[in-house]
Structure 1
Amino acid sequence: MNRLFPPVTLLAFCLCTGATAQTAAKTSATPSPKTAPAVVTPAPGDVLIPAPSDAQVLFDGKDLAQWCRKDGSPAAWTVENGDMVVKAKSGNIQTKRNFGDCQLHIEWCTPENVSDTGQLRSNSGVFLQSLYEVQILDSYLNDTYWNGQAGSIYKQYAPLVNATKAPGQWNVYDIIYTAPRFNADGSLLSAARITVLQNGVLVQNNTTIKGTTFLEHPAYTAHGDAPIMLQDHGNAVRFRNIWIREL
């Protein structure tokens, strides 16, 4: 509802413009589109969240039966001590089933021993419908571009805050995804939207995705349900406890 307010008096204006630096710092805590998000320390602990009764388990620590390469051949990643491990240079993997609107739970971990910086530090990603990426990266004390760190919608939106745990600790993404809709002629009816919680902290709030995330100029091309894809970026990343609910 729009409301009209009376003119601000000169006194109020002076009080406002005379605000302290401390107040100014508080109001600037919300990150502008191209500044680094504030760091938030998530709650400690490492507890597996079991899949609810209506979920499909995509990885339970035993095998890669639910996954394959893009051409349908077996996924080339490995399973070690109950974790799905990226096998560098083996290619992306994707679910054998297609999905649209969904709730996706996925846990990921980067190596405790850090050897790289920026986008080379345990880079991966989870792609909804194989097109729209939520970035995975070791963003703990790691400078990189604002829309390329963990929790970002890659190259489109920075996370609201940086809630990444230290290397060697498990991070959790809970993703609520609404797929795009298209008209009969292939034109866009409604864009995809996504909400992401990282380690229980909101990092994307019903964000409107601009289009395919790895394009320089994001755009939509009509499509239907498609696989969930995990990225092999040539870096070491582990995954566990992956499940999905269709909405």
Structure 2
Amino acid sequence: MRIHYILLAAICLIAGQPFQATPSFAAEPAAEGAKDNVAPKGFRALFNGKDLAGWNERGKPPVNWTVQEGMLVFSGKGGDLFTDEKFSNYVLLVDWKVEKNGNSGVYLRGGNPQVEINDADSPTGNIWVGTTGGLYPDLPPVVRAAKPAGEWNHFEIIVENGVITVLTNGVKTVDGFKKDWKDRTSGSVGFQNHGTPLWFKNMYIKTSE
């Protein structure tokens, strides 16, 4: 091994290049990420980044939810937002952010449970059903995985035969919760609000009916 390094050093010296005694595994610079609101393969966009076609604010045309620079933005006043279309079993991808103490949630099948978003929950307190990444009002998350207020977060929400799994920023926070849906077999995807400004983008769904 020593002879190997000596030979490498000599070659580098001749070539005028610096020598590294340990191999470098640095990756090549990543290519630019996918454009916002353009669905990845196998998914379709619920939000086109241009208008609120396909959405309603509690059954009426949205007033307090607007599109700003490709983002779905809530003013902090008004009603919850829902898709016109209803879904049963699916994988849902959502990017979101809130301001300090911001509170929201992603409704599944038209209402609760919702995947909780709650920046007001103290990071030093006990994890409960109001902790981000859990299912309100049914189940606390396994672990805290949300980023600080003002940063973008990512949910991957899976509803399969009524069983719910949630990944928050790539960390599994709900692991196969068997929800008793009664006779609710489908419903809209929705965004709940608690009177604070909200931002969403990159909302994609893949159904498995």
The normalised TM-score by structure 2 is 0.74
Report the counterpart of residue 207 of structure 1 in structure 2. Answer: 177
Shift in Å, 1:208: 1.7
Give, as a single letter, the amino acid of the residue that structure 1 aligns with 2:202. N
Q: Which has the larger radius of gyration?
A: 2
The normalised TM-score by structure 1 is 0.64
Shift in Å, 1:88: 2.3
Secondary structure, aligned partner of 1:63:
coil
Alignment pair present for 1:127 and 2:107: yes
RMSD, aligned CA:
2.2
CA contact (8 A) 1:175 1:194 kept: yes
Q: Percent identity?
A: 33
Equivalent-residue separation in structure 1 for 2:127 and 2:171 (angstroms): 21
Alignment pair present for 1:170 and 2:131: no
Q: What per-residue deviation string (whole Å, max 9, x for no partner) do you get for residues 158-177 of structure 1?
A: 11110111111100000111
Equivalent-residue separation in structure 2 for 1:232 and 1:63 (angstroms): 20
Shift in Å, 1:146: 1.2
Q: Aligned runs of 1:1-247 on 2, under 5 Å?
A: 51-71=39-59, 73-76=60-63, 77-111=65-99, 114=100, 121-131=101-111, 132-138=113-119, 139=121, 141=123, 143=125, 146-179=128-161, 192-209=162-179, 211=180, 220-247=181-208
Shift in Å, 1:127: 0.7
Runs of at least 4 residues of structure 1 off by over 6 A? none
Shift in Å, 1:223: 2.6
Query: Tell me, which stretches of 5 or more residues in structure 1 are unaligned?
Result: 1-46, 115-120, 180-191, 212-219
